[in-house]
Amino acid sequence: MVGLAKLRRKLGALAGALAPVLLAVLVAGCSDSTSKPVEPPLPPGSIELDGAGATFPSALYKVWFETYHGENPGTFIKYSAVGSGEGIRRFIGKNIDEKDRVDFGASDAAMQDFELAQTDNNALMVPMTGGCIALAYNLPGVQAQLKLSRRAYSGIFLGEIKNWNDPLIAESNPGVKLPNLSIVTVVRQDASGTTYAFTRNLDAISDTWRSQFGPATLVNWPGNSMRAKGNEGAADLIEKSVGAIGYVGYEFARRINLTVAALENKEARYIPPSEDSCAAALASAELPENLRVFVPDPVGADSYPVVTFSWILLRKNYPNPKTAAAVRELFRWCLLGGQKYAPALNYVTLPPHVAEKSLAVVNSITPAG
């Protein structure tokens, strides 16, 4: 009996010593280090709209959605700037996690017919804003704004022009001392509407580009290239890389004071990106019924040559009537009250004829059934 009592005391002491360890193991097993903090529930009677897509208009969308929520506190809007290609994928919503499904998408490449078909003919493409795709570069010591001819900038992104003192660049920049420095292009690694807009322009002005690549959201870029994710990532990489040139939304170039080139337009004039030159280019757009229009080589002496509209992707019918009403009212506001915020952020206010057609489409949204 004495031996049994002694054994019990030893087992009790061992259990006491192991208790903290066992508790720690249990806690670790029940926790998930990758889990996100639980978000508080929405206030009663409110609604949350989820969106995802293009990085190009994200600075404007941030202002729009915050301002709208301030004026309409019952509507919460979340927007993930994940790129046009991913925005379309999440909007279509097939073969993805439920958490990634969205109420609206955003793209600078609109949607192609095969993508529209995947929505069971339940998609609307609505131009919301527009702007320039700038060619920003990093050349310390070069004070003058460079002029790039159509042959020069297409040749750079084809990998044919490899050095900054190339005669084709020098031809358009008399008196500018160009460095003997290798060119490296900064391009997008993600499926991008910005890429699509730029390559549509290259497709319009270069027979070589047209025969080898064409317009695309994702390109296997030739030559000496560095890849970045999103407009912000591309702008940051240009800023850090001497000798670099890359295509970015003009607002992202302006945000960190990147130097941008004046590009040769269809009228053989060298035009820098600006609100006025972008607006002049987009004003010539003639919208078809589905509002999918591109302006790959705009006419007009004062038009900047690389521009794009940016589309919000909506559903014709939403299963939830409350969601249908909230989406309709949000984007009515963006088209009516929100346009005034665009110029200060280096986007283009929609031309009146475009805004009118966009508003008519938004007003057509109804609940399903």
Cβ-based neighbours of 70, under 8 Å, separated by 6 or more? none
pLDDT value for 98: 82
pLDDT value for 19: 44
pLDDT value for 26: 35
Question: Domain 132-275 carries which CATH code?
Answer: 3.40.190.10
Query: What is the average per-residue pLDDT within 173-180?
Result: 97
Domain with CATH 3.40.190.10 in the chain: 47-130+307-367, 132-275
Query: What is the average per-residue pLDDT within 217-229?
Result: 95
Q: What is the 3-state secondary structure (H, E, C) of the chain?
A: CHHHHHHHHHHHHHHHHHHHHHHHHHHHHHCCCCCCCCCCCCCCCCEEEEEEECCCCHHHHHHHHHHHHHHCCCEEEEEEECCHHHHHHHHHCCCCCHHHCCCEEEECCCCCHHHHHCCCCCCEEEEEEEEEEEEEECCCCCCCCCEECHHHHHHHHCCCCCECCCHHHHHCCCCCCCCCCECEEEEECCCCHHHHHHHHHHHHHCHHHHHHCCCCCCCCCCCCEEEECHHHHHHHHHHHCCCEEEEEEHHHHHHCCCEECEEECCCCCEECCCHHHHHHHHCCCCCCCCCCCCCCCCCCCCCCCCEEEEEEEECCEECCHHHHHHHHHHHHHHHHCCHHHCHHHCCECCCHHHHHHHHHHHHCCEECC
pLDDT value for 32: 42
For 185-197, how does the pLDDT look when each residue is reduced to its tens digit (9 = 90+)? 999 999 999 999 9
Query: What is the average per-residue pLDDT within 164-184?
Result: 97
Cβ-based neighbours of 126, under 8 Å, separated by 6 or more? 291, 311, 312, 313, 314, 331, 358, 361, 362
For 2-18, how does the pLDDT look when each residue is reduced to its tens digit (9 = 90+)? 444 444 454 445 444 44
Query: What is the average per-residue pLDDT within 305-328?
Result: 97
Q: Which of 29-38, 59-68, 90-99, 204-213 has the lowest mean pLDDT?
A: 29-38
pTM for this entry:
0.84
Residue scoring higher pLDDT (37 or 96): 96
Q: Is the pLDDT of residue 62 over 50?
A: yes
What fold, for 47-130+307-367?
Answer: D-Maltodextrin-Binding Protein; domain 2 (3.40.190)
